Amino acid sequence: MDVADPSDWLKTTVPKLAPVESALRCQVCKDFFDTPMITSCSHTFCSLCIRRCLTNDGKCPVCRTADQELRLRRNWTVQEIVDAFQIARPSLSSLAMLELNHSSVEKPTSKRKLDDTDLEEDTDDPIVTVQRRKTRSHDSRLSNSTDQATAPSPNEAVQAVADENHNGNGSAACPICGQRMKEEAVFLHLDTHNEPDAPSQHNLRKSRRAPSVEVVGTSRTNVKPPERLPQLNYSLMKDVALRKKLSELGIPTTGPRSLLVRRHAEWINIVNANADSSRPKSKREMLRELDIWDRSTGRSIASSGNELNNAGSIMRKDFDGAAWSANHSSDFQDLISKARNTGRADSSPRKNGSPANVIVEQENHESTTSAQLIDGLPERPASSTIPNSDDT
């Protein structure tokens, strides 16, 4: 797969476009902004990116100011700039490459095409003019082509067609109607647009020729805004309630508690980022995104269950109690003797933070949960939390 990158411009006649493109990309995912949101410290990120960051540590990734998701605001202007740039990119880049090919190595096929165009007719089409001026100064050509390429979009906020692969298969989109074709064919094709189009005709044409292109304005006003989900205070929720919540939301309920919590948080981020978007996705698509998350990040959370930061796997049906107690037997012995020394009634060892005690704390936490489920007992002292007492 080929991915468009700001560094592409470095090899063209307009390397100065590299920082322009970098500025139109989110610093977290390094991709073009998708539903840009501005933080209260005035930094802009994709909605899903900044929500994930805030879920992770509650800080702006750029300046580390504390922020909250509720304070994020949409940044439509950036969205429109990015959309317009993405539409302009293929033709901009083929122009910049064409120039390079022409001035260094002669590329027979494309050159002949160009000459043909030159010989034909005398149209006033600005693009053809631009093209004929090839050998003249860069700047005028650049500004012309940019104008031409972005001309249709300002009033319409057109949705960008995914055009990442224009380099890979050598095809490029027409900057006016979005139709895809060989790079060399674009200029000839542009002649068909040379009558001055009224903006409404643009719209008609768009919907007819490229069904995937839609006008943002309509979806923004006509469709009712998608629902947002509130955050949950997970520490107040028992496993059963949490699983119930997940099944109500229609998302998978499998896995240890820590995974359930993270999955729910991820789902909230996906749903709320989607609610910010000017072109919301269906629930099916969002579930697919969650599934991707589950199979990468989620799986690594589940598989790190044996580590100290994740005691949730102890609750799983397939938890290997024998291996666990063998691995940690020295810790347990140590803890038991410590607990005997300090006395049964005293639960203070939980307060000191040595690694061994962390295990106790988590063991304790797990067994507490199940204990409460069974008979509502309060926490038991550390010495009684030998593994295998629950579940296996």
Partner 1 sequence: MASSLASRRLFQEYRTLTSSPPDGITAGPVSEDDIFLWEALIQGPEGTPFEGGVFPAELKFPKDYPLNPPSMKFLCDIWHPNVYPTGLVCISILHAPGEDPNHYEQASERWSPIQSVEKILISVMSMLAEPNDESPANVEAAKMWREKRGMFEERVRKSVREGLGLA
Instruction: Give contact residues for partner 1 (rule: CB under 8 A).
Output: 1, 3, 5-8, 10-11, 27-31, 48-49, 52-53, 56-57, 59, 61-62, 64, 288, 292-293, 295-297, 299-300
Contact (CB, 8 A) for 229 and 251: no
* Nearer Cβ to partner 1 (14/335): 14
* Nearer Cβ to partner 1 (112/288): 288
Contact (CB, 8 A) for 263 and 312: no
Measured distance CA(25)–CA(193) in Å, rounded: 31
* Nearer Cβ to partner 1 (37/190): 37
* Shortest Å, Cβ 38 to partner 1: 15
* Shortest Å, Cβ 220 to partner 1: 26
* Shortest Å, Cβ 254 to partner 1: 18
* Nearer Cβ to partner 1 (61/305): 61
Alpha helices, DSSP H, located in 159-315:
185-190, 199-209, 216-222, 239-249, 257-276, 283-293, 299-303
* Nearer Cβ to partner 1 (165/325): 165
Half-sphere exposure of 19 (CA within 13 A, CB side): 1
Running DSSP on this structure, what letter comes out for residue 59? Answer: B
Q: What is the dihedral of CA 202, 207, 211, 215, to 10 degrees?
A: 80
* Nearer Cβ to partner 1 (28/161): 28
* Shortest Å, Cβ 8 to partner 1: 7
* Shortest Å, Cβ 29 to partner 1: 5
* Shortest Å, Cβ 273 to partner 1: 12
* Nearer Cβ to partner 1 (7/143): 7
Q: Residue 368: is it exposed, middle or buried by C-beta count within 10 angstroms (0-12/13-18/19+)?
A: middle
* Nearer Cβ to partner 1 (3/323): 3
Q: Residue 16: is it exposed, middle or buried by C-beta count within 10 angstroms (0-12/13-18/19+)?
A: exposed
* Shortest Å, Cβ 143 to partner 1: 26
* Shortest Å, Cβ 6 to partner 1: 7
DSSP line for 108-168: HHHHHHHHHHHHS-----HHHHHHHGGGS-HHHHHHHHHHHHHTTSTTT-BPPP--GGGTT
Nearest to 36 by CA among 82, 85, 88, 86: 82
CA distances from 203 to 89, 211, 217 (A): 20, 11, 12
Running DSSP on this structure, what letter comes out for residue 31? Answer: S
* Shortest Å, Cβ 116 to partner 1: 33
Measured distance CA(216)–CA(278) in Å, rounded: 6
Running DSSP on this structure, what letter comes out for residue 381? Answer: P
Q: How far is CA 171 from the centre of its chain?
A: 26
* Nearer Cβ to partner 1 (4/190): 4
* Shortest Å, Cβ 163 to partner 1: 15
* Nearer Cβ to partner 1 (59/189): 59
Nearest to 254 by CA among 264, 270, 243: 243
